[in-house]
Structure 1
Amino acid sequence: MEDYLRKDAGLRAAVAVLSISAVYVLGLVIHRLFFSPIAKFPGPKLAAVTSLYELYYDVIKKGKYLFEIEKMHDKYGPIVRINPYELSIRDPEFYDELYVAGSVRPTDRYEGFVSGVVDFEGSHLATIGHDLHRKRRKPLDPYFSRSGVTRLEPMVAELCEKLIVGRFESFKGTGKVVRLDHAFTAFSGDVISRVCIDDPPDFVDNPEFAPGWFDMFHTGIVSLPLFMGLPWLIHVIRLIPERILVRLDPRSQTFNKFKLMCEGHLGAVKREKAALGSEDTPGTGARLTLFQYLVNSDLPPSELTDERLSKEAQVLIGSGTITTAGTLCFICYYIMANPAIRKRLEEELKGAMEGYPEKKPTWAQLEKLPYMQALIKETLRLSYGTMHRRPRVSPKQPIRFKQWVIPAGVPVGMSAYFQHRDPRIFPRPLEFIPERWLENVTPEMKNNYIPFSKGSRHCLGMNLAYCEINLIISALFRPGGVDFALYETDESNVKPVHDLIVPMPRLDTKGVRVIFH
């Protein structure tokens, strides 16, 4: 009898738990469908009810939700609800209304967008609040401004020469096959590392261009949607002892070395400051690394903790590496795949690159070459910079879009993928046509060219990226340079088909490969 009662009590408890859960889920569904602040906005009901809809397309199908959002806009119109909390807008005229300067309206980052990147929590990129973001970004801006990057240009030019002349031209006549994604990831990693830290790695010197460095980023990018969709998962992984994690995934060791490299430099900078005293600046007359500059800035002590600055270093080095490398691969493919484009570029480079490397043109001089600039713009139009929507939150005031009023606090995102492919603005939008930037460039084309976004949170590294791209492309395709051609590479190796925050081609790609004749 007692056993029966115990079983009966257990059954009743299970039924009670299930009933309460069912009532909770039902209440949540009703709230999201009818009482949410964004319940009135159009979109699929399943997406409004659960984030699992988005998780399926981005995790199971590997970054395909953007294309599902595109279908939603085709069906429901320029504004759609894409998950329980967030709206998407597809309207070329509205971008400048959403992504505004801080003087127009304070803009927060959407917390749900950064909750899965806890390893970067505290960096300017993952800062949610407008005022704190402005405080953290302010000392970074001069370093990455046009004048700041011009001061860095000799270092970028030196690394460019090392890659093109020192490495690529040494392959002349060997028939060696090189993965440009590895080479360019090594180059851009070396550039941003020298900007940030005092004892940088020399990835370009590695015989195979440090494939582990590339693999670390590739693995992280593919994993990112999972951690963004299930942010608690990263906390679980952090509980796993490092020695076990390395056995499970040896690539994690590369990331640990990366973290230690950043932390080691920051420790050295702080010891140097302590030895010199608070009034002295190290290395008078010499170039300060970014973190020497930050540690000696007027940021309050709460913003100069080892943990925060280490995460800032990791964000800057990571974001300054992979996007620039991808852009370089994209432009190189289209130049090599189109003989007429390559020939025209070489003709334009004749005068500017005469005498290279003893005589190097500056970034400013290269910007005066119209066809090369058209190539760069068309590359960034079709490679998007960042393909993913960039959700923004107006924390204090509603935003009006056509007949809709978006409540304060609601995240709203737009994507360069939509802006750059609008046929009303860019005729034949899927074709690589650099000539579109040489004549009849309309104000709408200029306004909707947003590979680095706009507003108070636009891409910090825009000028450095332009400098790197100009110097590499001019040196690589100059007349009389090394003779190389595509090797078993087609458009599928560069065309973005996965939105993993960073646009990615097919995931089984072997990269843009070239053979040196």
Structure 2
Amino acid sequence: MALIDLLIVDPLLVGVCFTTLSIIYFCIYQLYLHPLSHIPGPIAARITPLWLWYHAYIGDEASTIYALHETYGPLLRVSPNEVDISDHDAVPAIYTLKGGFQKAACYGNFDIDGHKTIFSTTDTEYRSPRAKAVVPLFSTKSIRENEGPLYECVDRMVERMREEKARLGRSNVLNLTRSLAVDAVSTHLFRENYNGVSEKGRILSASAFVDAFVAVGRFFYLPNWLFVWLEWTIEKCAADEKTEMSMAAVDKFVEDVVAKTKSGAGNYPGRLMELGLETSEVKAQCKDLVFAGTDSSGMNLATICRQLAMHPEKYEILRNEVCTNALSGPEKHEIQSLPYLSAVIKECLRISMANPTRLPHVVPTEGWTFKGVLFPAGTLVGCSAYELHFNRSVFPNPFSFQPERWLEGTVTPEANKSFFAFGAGARACIARNLAMTELFMATERLVLKDVLRAARPVQSKVEIFEWFNSSVKGEKIELVWN
């Protein structure tokens, strides 16, 4: 009776006891009674999403989860209602078959200026007309018709690298490849060149804008209401002049392009205007494209430059193939059909980690069974490029640069199934054809001009923040020439 009497007269003790029992019950439920309790994972991750949010924030999510898979197996519970899958057999169901599962709500954290974009929306009815309007611009036919202006962008970048090589003996190739990327995407899709390669500054004016959007990946998994509050707080308390100037430069470029464009014009904003969209949304969709087209393509091409500099013997093989083809006259092949060039680019896409983390989607109402394991409706499931591209059973010595993996007679079906650089299915990167063309053109020109001969990397290792879009620590991938 003494304890009961104490509880009656001490409401604080009642509250403490109730809270303690509630926490104990909650932990027991998450660990042993939750519908996903049969999926292994760290105790902290199975109890609370804070574990995942923390690793996403500090930027080691992908490598941490990669290491945990070696302990727990191909299915890993990374949050109370979220499972990471390191098995390429899961890709078709999640991303491809019948359109794949719906994107998770956290993609909404990549909305721009209050508008959902073709990338960020989870609503297929919202996305479908917008995507259909612009998909023709990414077709092989459209890109081929615009080869001349694209090669002009590439040649300016190659000449800038040659100039830096001669004048300084070193180059931040990440800045140059980002500059090319924004020039290529604006030239092809807006019909107006951003002229990033021609800028006199040491860092591309759009870089801080891109970096600000990349940094959103720190908070990718947060509930949207919490993300919006946090974003507002950061804007009020941690804004910096460099980012504001960069945002203003991109805003002005996009505003000028949209102002010059008429509804029905063949470029990207013109096709969106034809749908009757508000001008503010057209601008948001264009800014989303500038961000996406600059970041991933820039990282991928910088990785190609670095790897070729690190492996001069492979550079010589590639140079022999490219130069022989260039001198072949009527027998010249399309560059995208050159086997070693294709292998170099695909291998660099495998290891560049431009987009290292998971692409979470939602298990539909009927649930999903994968290899005998049941995933209830509403479960978040996803695969990541980091897991698939560095799978040791598929890619022996996964962190080494081996273009030969992709040559005919060597490449395995498992390797092709595990290639995830652009995602998969209907929601894969809409600009992948343009991105690949840009990589082929730039690599061909760099090799033909022999710019990378005698180059060597400054950093022994490129370290990244493993956010949704990776961010290079130090913002440099540098080469020096002897």
Q: Normalized against structure 2, the TM-score is what?
A: 0.86
Match of 2:246 in 1: 254
Superposed, 1:243-322 pairs within 5 Å as 248-269=240-261, 272-273=262-263, 281-282=264-265, 288-296=266-274, 299=275, 301=276, 304-322=277-295
Query: In structure 1, what residue type is equivalent to 2:476?
Result: K
| Residues 48-99 of structure 1, C-alpha deviations (whole Å, 9 max, x = no match) | 221211222222xx21122222233222222121112211111233322322
- Is 1:426 matched up with 2:391? no
Superposed, 1:106-505 pairs within 5 Å as 107-115=101-109, 117=111, 119=113, 121-165=115-159, 167-171=160-164, 173-197=166-190, 199-208=192-201, 210-226=203-219, 228-229=221-222, 231=224, 232-235=226-229, 237-238=231-232, 248-269=240-261, 272-273=262-263, 281-282=264-265, 288-296=266-274, 299=275, 301=276, 304-354=277-327, 365-438=334-407, 439-478=409-448, 481-482=450-451, 485-486=454-455, 489-493=458-462, 497-505=464-472
Q: Distance in 1 between matches of 2:24 and 2:414?
A: 46
Residues 291 and 403 (structure 1), Cα distance of their counterparts in 2 relative to 1, 3 Å cut: same
* Structure 1 residue 425, shift from structure 2 partner: 2.1
* Structure 1 residue 168, shift from structure 2 partner: 3.4
Query: In structure 2, what residue type is equivalent to 1:449?
Result: F
> Is the contact between residue 134 and residue 271 of structure 2 (CA under 8 Å) also seen in structure 1?
no
Name the SS for the 2:300 alignment partner: helix
- Larger mean CA deviation between 393-402 and 83-92 belongs to 393-402
- Is 1:508 matched up with 2:474? yes
Q: Distance in 1 between matches of 2:202 and 2:148?
A: 22
**Which segments of 5 or more consecutive residues in structure 2 lack a partner in the other structure?**
1-8
> Is the contact between residue 189 and residue 317 of structure 1 (CA under 8 Å) also seen in structure 2?
yes
Match of 1:4 in 2: none
Q: For this pair of structures, how many residues does the alignment match?
A: 472
* Structure 1 residue 325, shift from structure 2 partner: 0.8
> Is the contact between residue 193 and residue 201 of structure 1 (CA under 8 Å) also seen in structure 2?
yes
Residues 27 and 129 (structure 1), Cα distance of their counterparts in 2 relative to 1, 3 Å cut: farther
Residues 145 and 394 (structure 1), Cα distance of their counterparts in 2 relative to 1, 3 Å cut: farther
Q: Distance in 2 between matches of 1:25 and 1:199?
A: 58
Q: Distance in 2 between matches of 1:156 and 1:498?
A: 30
Q: Distance in 2 between matches of 1:497 and 1:87?
A: 24
Q: Distance in 2 between matches of 1:240 and 1:416?
A: 29
| Residues 244-276 of structure 1, C-alpha deviations (whole Å, 9 max, x = no match) | 865x4432231233234324433443xx34xxx
Query: In structure 1, what residue type is equivalent to 2:95?
Result: Y
Query: In structure 1, what residue type is equivalent to 2:83?
Result: L
- Larger mean CA deviation between 189-198 and 413-422 belongs to 189-198
* Structure 1 residue 434, shift from structure 2 partner: 1.0
Residues 29 and 207 (structure 1), Cα distance of their counterparts in 2 relative to 1, 3 Å cut: same
Name the SS for the 1:204 alignment partner: coil
Q: Distance in 2 between matches of 1:460 and 1:450?
A: 14
> Is the contact between residue 123 and residue 309 of structure 1 (CA under 8 Å) also seen in structure 2?
no
- Is 1:77 matched up with 2:43? no
Q: Of residues 37, 52, 73 in structure 1, which corresponds to 2:50?
A: 52
Query: In structure 2, what residue type is equivalent to 1:370?
Result: P
Query: In structure 2, what residue type is equivalent to 1:460?
Result: I
Residues 230 and 132 (structure 1), Cα distance of their counterparts in 2 relative to 1, 3 Å cut: closer
Match of 1:8 in 2: none
> Is the contact between residue 185 and residue 322 of structure 1 (CA under 8 Å) also seen in structure 2?
yes
> Is the contact between residue 197 and residue 262 of structure 1 (CA under 8 Å) also seen in structure 2?
no
* Structure 1 residue 473, shift from structure 2 partner: 0.9
- Larger mean CA deviation between 318-327 and 72-81 belongs to 72-81
Residues 83 and 143 (structure 1), Cα distance of their counterparts in 2 relative to 1, 3 Å cut: same
Q: Distance in 1 between matches of 2:114 and 2:471?
A: 22
Q: Distance in 1 between matches of 2:171 and 2:354?
A: 24
* Structure 1 residue 236, shift from structure 2 partner: 5.1
Taking every aligned residue pair, what percent have the same amino acid on both sides?
A: 22
Name the SS for the 2:76 alignment partner: strand
Query: In structure 2, what residue type is equivalent to 1:100?
Result: T
> Is the contact between residue 107 and residue 130 of structure 1 (CA under 8 Å) also seen in structure 2?
no
Query: In structure 2, what residue type is equivalent to 1:459?
Result: C
Q: Distance in 1 between matches of 2:172 and 2:364?
A: 45
Residues 204 and 18 (structure 1), Cα distance of their counterparts in 2 relative to 1, 3 Å cut: farther
* Structure 1 residue 291, shift from structure 2 partner: 1.0
Residues 115 and 217 (structure 1), Cα distance of their counterparts in 2 relative to 1, 3 Å cut: closer
> Is the contact between residue 82 and residue 379 of structure 2 (CA under 8 Å) also seen in structure 1?
yes
Name the SS for the 1:251 alignment partner: helix
Q: Distance in 1 between matches of 2:454 and 2:200?
A: 20
Query: In structure 1, what residue type is equivalent to 2:214?
Result: I
Q: Distance in 2 between matches of 1:82 and 1:159?
A: 43
> Is the contact between residue 396 and residue 408 of structure 1 (CA under 8 Å) also seen in structure 2?
yes
Q: Give me the CA root mean square deviation.
A: 3.3
- Is 1:64 matched up with 2:34? no
